[in-house]
Structure formats: structure tokens, C-alpha cells
């Protein structure tokens, strides 16, 4: 099982060689590279080409006709810069290949004169036009392939030219990076390959040295792809090893509470007796099959010997709140406490109200009076609560008089102490990191065992993406909506006519006794500016398209009591339309609402639109969602069309991933050396699964990676010290 120690340079060694040690990297450029985030030879080698240009497929200049768009490979023969009488700069370069020549023209880019030095070889992509009888391309895309340096043309003579993510800001061109990488590859020599041979064979992966060379300096156009597979696997495998090891370490280090709950309580057969059973029985509806299954898994975890680490995914409206509350109550019924942490104040407020409503009427044993009971007590802790309320909540949590607390990051502050925190639910919304999860778990440790942990995402993320971001958690999917929900018809209203139809629908639904939301444009500024624009929008609509209706206003700057009153009047029907900011994004639940109009919809992301839309369609009446807006960019148009096409959150999550890339899902979590530089969550799904399985298998056989010293070193090197100490503590 043990692998022969691989020779060659290890990543940790490459990380210790500063780029300034390369001969071609002059001090000024070393500085620029550092500012750009590249300080070591490893950083440089993992700065991968964005794309490749197949030089053999460049067109011949002589073959181009006016109007053609093409790539040509040409050399600069002459370059001239001047200014017209109004001070506008114009740079013209005459370029030629063996067949003919043409001019490249740039306005207001005086630096081109220096960039396009005579003798430089360029790849030029643009459209051929004719101006006063001269064949030219105006503002083509130019890649500098080789340039004259100290008199000699240094041509890299590659058939396939890698194009690097150049940085105009730091004055680094693709060409320069290419030359640095070339030197780095030469000087690095053979690279160590820690991947077990069996894995390489199984997935038909190239060796690391070969892959690194082929991705940077491919010889034929097909070269980079198998190389990419190998390097993608490296990244994902390392990450999955860490996640699997973390999971192991948590289990090993854990002191679990064996909660007094059983899976059967998710569907009480006889008369309800436990707190959880009474909660379920008192709900105004039956649990869906998916909710029941989720609770069975959760209760089994909670009753078991290892602390729960579970991710709860479910579409908007699938009823995750009920599952979260039942989880906390399962802890409470054994004499512990539950905490729910939300990412924002507004959400914490809403959850607080929601949880209070759901648990109204529930009684728990009163430890002060033998055989007596008292109402379940639910507290709120955010940075907005008054000092007095805060003191009360803190003492209630410390004494155990508060059973369930809802809060924000404020729950993580020093002075919060729990009598016995048994279950933690984090309403994640992609905003909390591993550290914060650990922070809240550690809270429960004071004098007791580890609380059980349930992480909820407000909107789904694709399964393989979840495996990367939440790979240290088990996963439960609530894959069913409560019965009788009528579908939501979504229309992107692009013009005045369609918009008029939207307002018409609002009026007819209100006339039928239903209610409508209007979501104000997203303003990327302070809460105060958002509030002001909402106030104006409310006035405008009340005086125009919504004239004669009872129109209310809700925004985040209103005092809590006033917000509650507005919601109450909307719920009761005293208000027919609610003009609101995104404070209603998550959690607001008024079944009679059947229309939502979202203004300037192009400003919102897919997940947020899907959440907002989820405020309707909460009953058996048909519902409508109107997205107002021109679409703006290509991207926005694709988002709005996706919403029109699908109401399935998992499907939309895939589209979102495709449109926006990993950034928003991975967030800050995967930065630094553990980051994925090459792997793409969407494109590399298969590799994610493969890496996961391989990581599990290896850790299963060799939990301390003692037989895989190369892998062990890379994992350690990727982690910070504290994390590494935790993972490999025996």
C-alpha cells in the first residue's frame, strides 16, 4: 500500500522559491507579480493559460476580404503614433505576414506605440475594414507572442500559444507570463508525483511533470486537455482529502450528546407525548414525506454516538423551517438548548417571529417546580436588541431558562454562554465559513459535549458543488414541496405592454381577495438609501398603477414594531399590496399572496429572484411572478429567461453556476493554496465524484496517510498549521 517516495520537486519546495529568483523576472516585474498575487514559483506554475491559440490555423493576410473577422499571425513592420489637432492620440502599426500587410489602428491608447515595437510578433483578432483604400483593423485584440529584446527576436516557436490571464493593471502581459513560466518549468525540472500509481492507472492520469509541461507548453492543440484532467484531479483530490480527514477528526475529537429522541418521533403513531411529537401533532398540516425522511435522518444522527454534521438542502418553500425547529426541539426535550444562527438581522428577526408562531402553545417541564410546566421560551440575540434585552437573554441562556435562541453572529461573541447547547442550526445562505461553524460548535463545549449541527442553505446548490463546499457534512435533501401547491407562472415583462399586463394582474388578484408584493429595485447602497427609494416607489405606485388599492410599505429601516404591524395588516388583508425591499426575500410567508412583481429584475441574481418568487405559490391558488426590466446585459437576459423557464431551484442553481462560475458558491472559503485554480464546479462534476471516492478510500485504509508521505505533505502544506494539527492529532 505504501508508495515509494517519489523523487523530484515537491510543491512545498516550489512554494519556497520566490519568482524574483528567475532570471527573466526583473525586480520591477517581481513587484508587479507580487501585487497581482504571484510570489512563488508555485504560484507562477499554477497560473494557468486561459485559452490557447492554434497558430497553424491563423489566416493568411492576403486571403482576408473586407468584412471578415479573423485571426492573423503577423510581425510589426512600422509603428507610428500621433495626435490629431484636438489632442486625440492615434497609433497605427503596419503588420505583415508572408502574404501581405494591413494596418492596426488604435485611438486613445498611446501606450500601444511602445507595446507594438518593430519586429514583435502578434496574434491579431479583429475585423478587416477599409479606410481610404487602406486595409485595416480598428481596435483588434492583440496578443504579443514574441518581441524584440536587445536586438534579437525571441520567438517561442510554439504551434499552440498559451494565452495567460494578463493584467493590464499591473502591467503584465500574457507574453511575459509565458516567458516566466517557461523558465520556471525549465528550472524546476522533474516534479514529485505523490499520486498512488493505482489511482493514476484507474483514471488514466498523466504524470504531474508531464501534465504541467503540456498545459503550459502544448505541442499540439489536443495536448492541454489530458494535462488539465490530471491537474484538476490534483486540486480536487487534495481538497477532498482535507474534507474527509476533517470529518474524521471531528468524529474522533467529538464528545457527542446522545439526544433523547428517536427517528420514529418524526411520524408519531399514537397520542403525541414527547415535545417533538407534540410539535409535529400541533402543526396545521401533515409533514411531507421528504420532511419526515429528513427528520428521521436527523433524529438518528442526534441519538447516535457521533455528533451530527448535516447539510439540509431544499427548494424555496419546501418547508425547511419546520425541520429546523423540530431539530432544536429534539435537543430541548432532553434538557438541552437549541440555537439558530441567521446571516442577517432581518432574517434573524423573521426566524424569531416564525419560530415563535410555530412553537406557540408548547410546554416544557419547569425545573423549578416539580411536575410543573412552563411555556417553551424562545429568545432573540442580535446586535440590535437593547442592552436590557440582551442581558436578559444572556442570563436565560446561561441558566437554561431560554430553550431556543435565534440570532446572528452576535451568538458567537465571547460573553454568550449556554447552560447546555444541544443543537445548532445555521441558516447558511453561503455566508458562514467553516471557522464560524466551528466557533458555534465550540460554544456548546463549555462543560458539556459537542452540539449537533445542521446547516441549511436558503436556496439549493448543485450536489457536486455541495460536495466541494460542504464536503465535510452529510447531506439531506428535502426534495418535495407541500401538496397542493399550484405552479407559479413567471413572465419577464420586457416592454410597456407586458408591464401593463402585470399591474392588471395585480388588480384582478386583489379584486379576487388575494394579495400582491411589489419588490423595489435593488440599490447597492446603504440601508438608508434603499429605504428612501422604497418610500418613493411606494408613493409613485400608489398615485399611478396601484391607485385606489390599499398599498403598504415595508423596508429594513422601519422600527421592528412598525414592521410587524405592516406585516400583520398585510396578512389580514387590510393591506392588499405590499411594496417592499428585499427584507421579504426569505421567510415571509403569506399564503394569500398570489402575485409578485419584481422591479428592475435584471439587478438581482438567480438565487435571489428565485427566493423572491418563492413568496408566492404558497397555496393552492395559481400564482404569478412578473419580472420587470429590459434585461440589460446578455447575462441578465439569460438569468431572466432561466427564471421564466424553470421553477426548480436545483435546476436554476445549475444555470447560476454556469453563468456566474464558482466565485459566489466558493466565496472566500476556498482561497489561498487550497483554492481551485483550474477545476470548475460545473464542468468537472465527474472529477469531483472521482476525487471524493478516491479520498474516502485512501483515508479508510490509511487514516493518518502514513503510507502516503507525499500526499500527507501536500495536505499539510495546503492547510494552515492549526487545522493541520487538528486533522492529524492522534
Nearest Cα to Cα of residue 303 among 255, 254, 256: 256
Report in angstroms how near the CB of residue 665 gets to Mg ion at its nearest.
19
Among 131, 153, 285, 645, binds ligand ADP (CB under 6 A): 285
x/- mask, ligand ADP, residues 554-593, rule CB under 6 A, reads -----------------------------------x----
Nearer to ligand ADP, 241 or 330 (CB): 330
Q: Which string of b and e fits 409-444 if b means at least 16 CB within 10 Å?
A: bbbbeeebebbbbbbbbbbbbbebeeebbebbbebb
Among 287, 348, 468, 627, binds ligand ADP (CB under 6 A): 287
Report in angstroms how near the CB of residue 487 gets to ligand ADP at its nearest.
15
338 HSE (CA, 13 A, CB side) = 25
Nearer to ligand ADP, 317 or 338 (CB): 317
User: Rounded CA gap, 601 and 459, in Å?
Assistant: 18
Q: How far is the CA of 567 from the CAs of 163, 257, 532, 586, in angstroms? A: 55, 39, 19, 14
Report in angstroms how near the CB of residue 465 gets to ligand ADP at its nearest.
19
Chain position whose Cβ is nearest to ligand ADP: 319
- 206-235: contacts with ligand ADP (CB under 6 A): none
Report in angstroms how near the CB of residue 657 gets to ligand ADP at its nearest.
20
User: Rounded CA gap, 102 and 404, in Å?
Assistant: 74
Phi, psi of 586 (to 5 degrees): -125, 140
Stretch that binds ligand ADP, among 80-88, 282-290, 524-532, 594-602 (CB under 6 A): 282-290
Strand 148-149 to strand 152-153: parallel, antiparallel, or no bridges (unpaired)? antiparallel
Among 207, 482, 605, 675, binds ligand ADP (CB under 6 A): 482
> Could you tell me how many residues of this chain bind Mg ion (CB under 5 A)?
1
Residue 673 contact, options ligand ADP, Mg ion, none, Cβ 5-8 Å cut-off depending on partner type: none
User: Rounded CA gap, 686 and 254, in Å?
Assistant: 32
The conformation of residue 1, written as its DSSP 8-state character, comes to: -
At 563 the three-state DSSP class reads: helix
> Could you tell me how many residues of this chain bind ligand ADP (CB under 6 A)?
16
Stretch that binds ligand ADP, among 181-189, 237-245, 283-291, 439-447 (CB under 6 A): 283-291
Q: How far is the CA of 152 from the CAs of 148, 155, 159, in angstroms? A: 5, 9, 20
Nearest Cα to Cα of residue 94 among 69, 64, 68, 124: 124
- 286-325: contacts with Mg ion (CB under 5 A): 321
**Burial category of 405 from C-beta neighbours within 10 Å (exposed 0-12, middle 13-18, buried 19 and up):** buried
First to last CA, the chain: 21
Residue 314 contact, options ligand ADP, Mg ion, none, Cβ 5-8 Å cut-off depending on partner type: ligand ADP
**297 binds ligand ADP, rule: CB under 6 A:** no
Nearer to ligand ADP, 314 or 396 (CB): 314
Report in angstroms how near the CB of residue 611 gets to Mg ion at its nearest.
9
Phi, psi of 374 (to 5 degrees): -140, 160
Nearer to ligand ADP, 539 or 564 (CB): 564
Nearer to ligand ADP, 314 or 629 (CB): 314
Q: Which string of b and e fits 294-317 if b means at least 16 CB within 10 Å?
A: bbbbbbebbbeeebbbbbbbbbbb
- 306-365: contacts with ligand ADP (CB under 6 A): 314, 316-322
Among 167, 291, 408, 608, binds ligand ADP (CB under 6 A): 291
User: Rounded CA gap, 707 and 699, in Å?
Assistant: 10
Residue 396 contact, options ligand ADP, Mg ion, none, Cβ 5-8 Å cut-off depending on partner type: none
User: Rounded CA gap, 670 and 680, in Å?
Assistant: 13
Report in angstroms how near the CB of residue 682 gets to ligand ADP at its nearest.
24
- 8-27: contacts with ligand ADP (CB under 6 A): none
Among 147, 309, 618, 708, binds ligand ADP (CB under 6 A): 618
Nearer to ligand ADP, 347 or 698 (CB): 347
Give the residues lining the site for ligand ADP (CB under 6 A).
285-288, 291, 314, 316-322, 482, 589, 618
Under the rule (CB under 5 A), what is the footprint of Mg ion? 321
Amino acid at each position: 500500500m505504501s508508495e515509494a517516495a517519489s523523487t523530484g520537486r515537491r510543491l512545498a519546495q516550489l512554494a519556497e522559491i520566490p519568482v524574483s529568483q528567475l532570471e527573466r523576472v526583473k525586480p520591477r516585474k517581481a513587484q508587479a507579480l507580487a501585487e497581482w498575487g504571484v510570489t512563488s514559483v508555485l504560484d507562477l506554475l499554477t497560473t494557468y493559460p486561459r485559452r490557447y491559440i492554434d497558430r497553424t490555423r491563423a489566416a493568411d493576410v492576403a486571403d482576408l476580404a473586407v468584412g471578415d473577422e479573423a485571426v492573423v499571425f503577423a510581425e510589426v513592420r512600422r509603428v507610428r503614433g500621433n495626435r490629431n489637432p484636438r489632442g486625440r492620440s492615434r497609433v497605427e502599426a503596419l503588420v505583415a505576414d508572408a502574404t501581405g500587410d494591413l494596418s492596426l489602428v488604435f485611438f486613445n491608447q498611446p501606450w500601444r506605440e511602445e507595446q507594438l515595437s518593430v519586429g514583435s510578433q502578434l496574434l491579431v483578432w479583429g475585423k478587416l475594414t477599409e479606410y481610404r483604400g487602406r486595409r485595416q483593423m480598428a481596435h483588434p485584440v492583440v496578443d504579443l507572442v514574441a518581441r524584440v529584446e536587445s536586438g534579437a527576436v525571441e520567438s517561442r516557436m510554439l504551434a499552440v500559444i498559451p494565452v495567460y490571464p494578463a493584467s493590464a493593471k499591473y502591467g503584465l502581459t500574457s507574453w511575459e507570463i509565458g516567458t516566466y513560466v517557461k523558465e520556471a518549468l525549465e528550472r524546476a525540472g522533474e516534479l514529485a508525483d505523490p499520486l498512488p500509481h493505482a489511482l493514476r492507472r484507474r483514471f488514466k492520469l498523466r504524470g504531474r511533470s508531464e501534465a504541467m509541461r503540456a498545459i503550459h507548453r502544448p505541442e499540439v492543440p489536443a495536448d492541454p486537455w489530458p494535462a488539465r484532467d490530471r491537474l484538476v484531479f490534483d486540486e480536487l483530490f487534495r481538497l477532498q482529502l482535507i474534507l474527509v480527514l476533517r470529518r474524521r477528526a471531528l468524529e474522533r475529537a467529538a464528545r457527542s450528546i446522545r439526544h433523547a429522541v428517536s427517528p420514529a418521533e418524526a411520524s408519531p403513531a399514537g397520542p403525541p407525548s414527547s415535545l417533538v411529537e407534540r410539535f409535529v401533532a400541533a402543526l396545521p398540516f401533515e409533514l411531507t414525506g421528504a420532511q419526515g425522511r429528513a427528520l428521521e435522518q436527523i433524529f438518528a444522527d442526534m441519538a447516535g454516538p457521533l455528533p451530527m454534521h448535516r447539510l439540509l438542502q431544499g427548494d424555496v418553500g419546501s418547508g425547511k423551517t419546520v425541520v429546523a425547529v423540530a431539530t432544536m426541539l429534539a435537543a430541548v426535550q432532553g434538557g438541552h438548548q437549541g440555537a439558530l444562527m441567521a446571516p442577517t438581522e432581518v432574517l434573524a428577526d423573521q426566524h424569531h417571529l416564525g419560530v415563535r408562531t410555530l412553537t406557540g402553545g408548547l410546554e416544557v417541564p419547569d425545573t423549578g417546580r416539580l411536575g410543573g410546566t412552563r411555556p417553551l421560551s424562545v429568545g432573540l440575540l442580535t446586535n440590535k436588541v437593547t442592552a436590557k434585552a440582551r442581558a436578559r437573554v444572556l442570563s436565560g441562556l446561561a441558566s437554561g431558562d431560554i430553550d431556543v435562541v435565534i440570532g446572528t453572529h452576535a451568538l458567537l461573541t465571547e460573553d454568550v454562554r449556554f447552560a447546555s447547547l444541544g443543537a445548532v442550526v445555521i441558516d447558511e445562505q453561503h455566508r458562514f465559513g467553516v471557522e464560524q461553524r466551528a466557533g458555534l460548535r465550540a460554544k456548546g463545549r463549555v462543560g458539556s459535549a459537542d452540539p449537533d449541527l445542521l446547516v441549511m442553505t436558503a436556496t439549493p446548490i448543485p450536489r457536486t458543488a455541495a460536495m466541494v463546499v460542504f464536503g465535510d457534512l452529510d447531506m439531506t435533501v428535502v426534495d418535495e414541496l407541500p401538496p397542493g401547491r399550484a405552479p407559479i407562472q413567471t413572465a419577464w415583462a420586457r416592454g410597456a405592454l407586458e408591464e401593463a399586463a402585470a399591474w392588471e394582474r395585480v388588480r384582478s388578484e386583489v379584486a379576487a381577495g388575494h394579495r400582491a408584493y411589489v419588490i423595489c429595485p435593488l440599490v447597492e447602497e446603504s440601508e438608508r438609501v434603499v429605504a428612501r427609494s422604497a418610500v418613493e416607489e411606494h408613493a409613485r405606485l400608489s398615485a399611478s398603477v396601484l391607485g385606489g388599492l390599499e398599498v403598504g410599505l415595508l423596508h429594513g429601516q422601519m422600527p421592528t414594531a412598525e414592521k410587524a404591524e405592516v406585516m400583520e395588516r398585510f396578512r389580514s388583508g387590510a393591506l392588499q399590496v405590499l411594496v417592499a425591499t428585499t427584507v421579504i426575500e426569505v421567510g415571509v410567508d403569506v399564503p394569500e399572496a398570489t402575485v409578485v412583481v419584481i422591479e428592475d429584475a435584471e439587478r438581482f441574481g438567480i438565487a435571489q429572484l428565485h427566493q423572491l418568487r418563492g413568496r408566492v405559490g404558497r397555496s393552492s391558488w395559481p400564482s404569478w411572478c412578473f419580472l420587470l426590466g429590459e434585461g440589460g446585459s446578455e447575462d441578465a437576459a439569460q438569468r431572466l429567461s432561466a427564471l421564466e423557464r424553470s421553477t426548480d431551484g436545483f435546476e436554476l442553481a445549475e444555470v447560476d453556476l454556469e453563468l456566474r462560475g464558482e466565485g459566489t458558491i466558493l466565496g472566500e472559503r476556498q482561497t489561498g493554496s487550497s483554492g481551485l485554480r483550474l477545476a470548475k464546479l460545473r464542468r468537472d462534476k465527474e472529477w469531483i465524484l472521482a476525487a471524493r471516492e478516491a479520498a474516502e478510500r485512501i483515508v479508510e485504509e490509511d487514516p493518518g496517510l502514513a503510507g502516503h508521505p507525499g500526499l500527507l505533505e501536500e495536505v499539510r502544506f495546503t492547510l494552515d498549521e492549526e487545522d493541520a494539527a487538528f486533522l492529524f492529532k492522534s
